[in-house]
Amino acid sequence: MTRRSPWMRALGMLLVTVAALLLSACAPPQRGAAILASTPTTGMIAVSAVGATTVRLLYARDGGIVMLRTVYLPPGDAVQSVAWSNDGRDVLIATSTALLALDTHTWRLESIPRLAAAGRDDARASRHH
């Protein structure tokens, strides 16, 4: 059994507390299960709830937490799950109607099929040159 240092336990409890406070302060009309997704390499955390229409992005380092942005989903969409891409750059948001990717460098929210189509178009264009 591995032991975690006291500061890691304290940081974990702090993150859970902050997530709970954010969710209670901005609760969606229909409360669902809380969603907390983090990427340890960048210190970023995505907080939402099943059925919510927003995802909040936080930055946590050295015991401090800063709210970076609240992302509003397109009308009619509701959060089903949230995860991070392997490189920790994109927040992947599964909604009731689509799979979305939020680029944390540009803050653009795009649908995954649209991104895949753009990548295919770029690949085709580079082959023709």
DSSP result, 63-89: TEEEEEEEEEPPTT--EEEEEE-TTSS
pLDDT of 50 higher than 80: yes
Distance CA 85, CA 92 (A): 7
pTM of the predicted model over 0.85: no
Whether the Cβ atoms of residue 19 and residue 36 lie closer than 8 Å to each other: yes
pLDDT of residue 28: 46
- Write out pLDDT tens, residues 60-87: 888 888 999 999 998 989 999 999 988 8
Residue 46, CB half-sphere, CA atoms under 13 Å: how many? 27
